[in-house]
Amino acid sequence: MAALRVSIPTADLIRRLKERLRGDPPNASTRVVWQRDGDSVLVNTDSLTARLLDGWLVCSLDLQTDQTGRQTLQFIFFLGKEGEGDSLQAASTINAPTPGAAQLAAAWGPDLQRVLWDAVLDAIELMVYHAESLKRGSPIIVGGFHCTPEAIVVDVLAGSR
């Protein structure tokens, strides 16, 4: 089975993260109001920063409600390092450094975390499609993924199963 390595650079990942936060179809505004059960939060998508480190994706995002004011939440994803945790599993947590941020994290954190993670999965899926286009007709299996400071890397196995 032939191994193939494909990657998506940080800038492309950030664009995908912002698109996911803005909704489907993406809202052109950089400020989006999310609503659920009579509650709402202003998501400042232009505040999103994302850094890839060796094994980690760290995203910071500003949210705002009348009760909390503008607060920053940090979403941390462990995607694995090459040769260490580079499998099909990941882990994540939310850092909320202030009481207002903790209130926002409790109310909106899991939803935001899921949307950001979906953007990562979108990127991985895009890389698998790219690998399929390079190995037409061969069965494709995702062998694992990890990240470097420059990109999310996906190892794809192509050929007989």
Percent composition of the chain: helix, strand, coil (DSSP 3-state, to 5): 30, 45, 25
DSSP 8-class letter at 137: T
* Predicted confidence (pLDDT) per residue in 85-133, tens digit: 667 888 999 999 999 999 999 999 999 999 999 999 999 999 988 888 8
User: What gap in Å lies between CA 110 and CA 97, rounded to an integer?
Assistant: 16
User: What gap in Å lies between CA 23 and CA 112, rounded to an integer?
Assistant: 12
- DSSP letters, 95-114, are E--SHHHHHHHHHHHHHHHH
Instruction: Please give the pLDDT value at position 148.
Output: 95
Could you tell me the pTM of the whole model?
A: 0.90
3-state secondary structure of 129: helix
CA angle 83, 17, 65 (to 5 degrees): 125
Contact 21, 48 (CB under 8 A): yes
Which residue's entry shows tokens 């941390």? 76
Alpha helices (H) along 9-98? 10-22
The arrangement of strands across the sheet holding 151-158 comes to: 2-9, 151-158, 140-147
pLDDT of 22 strictly over 80 = yes
**Over residues 24-30, mean pLDDT:** 71
CB atoms within 10 A of CB 75: 23
